[in-house]
Amino acid sequence: MPSRTVENYLKSILMISINKNCVEVPMGMIAESLKVTPGTATSMVKNLQKEKWLNYKARKGVTLTGSGKKIGMRMIRRHRLIETFLVETLGLDWSEIHEEAEELEHSISDKVLEKLDVFLGNPQFDPHGHPIPSKSGVIRRLSQKSLLDCKVGKKMKIESILDQRTEFLNFAKNKSLMPGNIIKILKYQKIADTVEVQVEKKPKFSLGFNSADKIMVSG
Amino acid sequence: MPSRTVENYLKSILMISINKNCVEVPMGMIAESLKVTPGTATSMVKNLQKEKWLNYKARKGVTLTGSGKKIGMRMIRRHRLIETFLVETLGLDWSEIHEEAEELEHSISDKVLEKLDVFLGNPQFDPHGHPIPSKSGVIRRLSQKSLLDCKVGKKMKIESILDQRTEFLNFAKNKSLMPGNIIKILKYQKIADTVEVQVEKKPKFSLGFNSADKIMVSG
DNA sequence: TTATAGACTTTGATTAATCAAAATTAAAAT
DNA sequence: ATTTTAATTTTGATTAATCAAAGTCTATAA
């Protein structure tokens, strides 16, 4: 019933509110995340409000309603299950699956999606370490601790990577920055805004604060 | 580059020209097969001509160019490979896969499609018995002989089913009218336009001429 | 030959999604 | 208390795909 454009808006808004942990999502972020002009986002959001998928306050931002959240969560589930399928079953590289899933998440029927879920053995996390929402829209809380929040010298387990860009994921893979691996901060250099890290027994390397903040860890 | 609407037009036109064995495809058939009004088909076909995907002669019909045929064939390959995947891998029923594939054929990247092809072991026929075009667009000639062209009493092998409608395929499956099975005409009743048939050792039953003509056979 | 039915084309309108650029507003800086 | 800036909204246009309904052909039947 919702068009694929609507599905994209609701998913993006939900993702922003989860990632930035905010209730009211500002218009600018929506426009940026969907790569449309601000005016387009405003007019679309007004339509979404008419359909009761969200509440919009001019110059404040947007909050999803229950039904809007449901659709958004459904899209996240689809996206992550499809990514898992592409890596596990077809053997695509984890750095190249995002765009694929972005398209397929709109095209697969509920029936096929649930078959896929069973075929994959009800996976709980996608290849980037992100939790896959259940059919009913429940999602495990992801770790709120990034590499930046860690003490120097403490061994941490990488939980997930909060960046979808192919180039970043290629870099991450190259450096073994992948879910499950053990990472340690060797030096914390505030002045240069970098941290020096080591993954498993691999050679050490540096990460900028922005990048380090995208590596979520636990333990 | 071509939109999914364009892909659908070119696929439909190619399918009609293959099935009806005609060079010039009349506008009426195009409109019917795509479920649009005749006026819509006319205006769309004019656009396709501008892009050099076909030649259009007013009140005569349409013939695909080389590039149009290529795109159409690409879509047939995608459709049939996806149908095969849905049945073989995910275990969907062969009568419910057409609509799914109709959507997915536009969404899958070339890369994923070729991975799928390898994963499935380069299948040569889809679950309905239709030949899957090769990557380069070559398609095996399908049997031109339908059940209606057979002698009474002669055992024939079912090659394919030329009807995509869910209800027909459900009926066919129920009666074991599936590729590979052996079928025999018991009686040919021109006056009632029915044939009485038997598949393998199953109970005999009747088929109207129209339906019998959709069961392609060999041997 | 003329009439007519059926196939096809034209015309004018609509819808969803978008952009560019001008106008507005709220917050921050002076 | 102004001014400036940055974010947002408004306005007016555009594009692809569609429909309904009116108009036009052409082949067949009278």
How far apart (Å, rounded) are the C-alpha atoms in residues B23 and B30?
13
CATH code at B52? 1.10.10.10
Residue A175: strand, helix, or coil: coil
pLDDT digits (tens, 9 = 90+) for A48-100: 999 999 999 999 999 999 999 999 999 999 999 999 999 999 999 988 999 99
pLDDT digits (tens, 9 = 90+) for B2-13: 999 999 999 999
For residue A117, being part of any structural domain is answered with no
Q: What pLDDT does B193 receive?
A: 86
- Mean of the pLDDT values across residues A150-166? 90
Looking across all nucleic acid strands, the nucleotide with the smallest C1' to CA distance from residue B43 is: C9
For residue A51, being part of any structural domain is answered with yes
Full DSSP string of B8-54: HHHHHHHHHHHHTT-SSBPHHHHHHHHT--HHHHHHHHHHHHHTTSE
pLDDT digits (tens, 9 = 90+) for A24-48: 999 999 999 999 999 999 999 999 9
- Of B92, B96, B112, nearest to A90 by CB-CB distance is B112
Strand partners, B104: none
AA identity, residue B32: E
Let me know: does B88 contact B27? Beta carbons within 8 Å: no
- Mean of the pLDDT values across residues A102-107? 98
Residue owning tokens 């919702």: A2
A191 burial type by CB count under 10 A (0-12 exposed, 13-18 middle, 19+ buried)? exposed
- Structural domain ending residue among the three candidates B29, B46, B64: B64
Residue A47: strand, helix, or coil: helix
pLDDT digits (tens, 9 = 90+) for A114-138: 999 999 999 999 999 999 999 999 9
Task: Please determine, for residue B143, whether its predicted confidence score (pLDDT) is greater than 80.
Answer: no
Closest alpha carbon to C1' of D19, residue: B37
Give the neighbor-by-neighbor strand order of the sheet with B205-208: B205-208, B194-199, B182-189, B155-161, B215-218
Q: Which of B78, B74, B88 is nearest to B127 (CA)?
A: B88
Task: Please determine, for residue A15, whether its predicted confidence score (pLDDT) is greater than 90.
Answer: yes
Q: What pLDDT does B72 receive?
A: 97
Instruction: Report phi then psi at A56, rounded to 5.
Output: -120, 125
Let me know: does B33 contact B15? Beta carbons within 8 Å: yes
Quick count: other Cβ atoms within 10 Å of Cβ B192?
11
Residue owning tokens 């024939």: B156
pLDDT digits (tens, 9 = 90+) for B106-120: 999 999 999 999 999
AA identity, residue B119: F
- Structural domain ending residue among the three candidates B49, B64, B79: B64
For residue B57, being part of any structural domain is answered with yes
CATH code at B154? 2.30.30.90
Query: Percent of chain A at pLDDT above 90?
Result: 77
The tally of domains found in chain B comes to 2
Task: Please determine, for residue A174, whether its predicted confidence score (pLDDT) is greater than 80.
Answer: yes
For residue A208, being part of any structural domain is answered with yes
pLDDT digits (tens, 9 = 90+) for B91-107: 999 888 999 999 999 99
Q: From the Cβ of A39, is strand D under 7 Å away?
A: yes
Domain range enclosing A204: 147-218
pLDDT digits (tens, 9 = 90+) for B48-66: 999 999 999 999 999 999 9
For residue A84, being part of any structural domain is answered with no
How far is CA A137 from its chain centroid? 15
For residue B214, being part of any structural domain is answered with yes
How far apart (Å, rounded) are the C-alpha atoms in residues A87 and B219?
43
Pairing of strands B61-64, B155-161: unpaired
> Which chain A residues have a beta carbon less than 8 Å from that of B109?
99-100, 103
> Which chain A residues have a beta carbon less than 8 Å from that of B86?
112
Let me know: does B172 contact B161? Beta carbons within 8 Å: yes
Task: Please determine, for residue A171, whether its predicted confidence score (pLDDT) is greater than 90.
Answer: no
> Which chain B residues have a beta carbon less than 8 Å from that of A109?
99-100, 103
Let me know: does A199 contact A155? Beta carbons within 8 Å: no
Let me know: does A141 contact A122? Beta carbons within 8 Å: no
Q: From the Cβ of B39, is strand D under 7 Å away?
A: yes
Strand partners, B215: B161
Q: What pLDDT does A142 receive?
A: 77
Looking across all nucleic acid strands, the nucleotide with the smallest C1' to CA distance from residue A43 is: D9
* Chain A nearest C-alpha distance from B108 (Å): 7
How far apart (Å, rounded) are the C-alpha atoms in residues A18 and A21?
5
For residue B172, being part of any structural domain is answered with yes
Quick count: other Cβ atoms within 10 Å of Cβ B41?
21
Let me know: does B128 contact B94? Beta carbons within 8 Å: yes
- Structural domain ending residue among the three candidates B64, B79, B106: B64
Residue of chain A whose alpha carbon sits nearest to that of B86: A112
Q: Which residues contact B14 (CB under 8 A, 6 or more apart)?
A: B64, B68, B69, B72, B73, B75, B76
Q: From the Cβ of B60, is strand D under 7 Å away?
A: no
Full DSSP string of B77-138: HHHHHHHHHHHHTT---TTS-HHHHHHHTTTS-HHHHHHHHHHTT--SB-TTSPBPPPTTS-
For residue A138, being part of any structural domain is answered with no
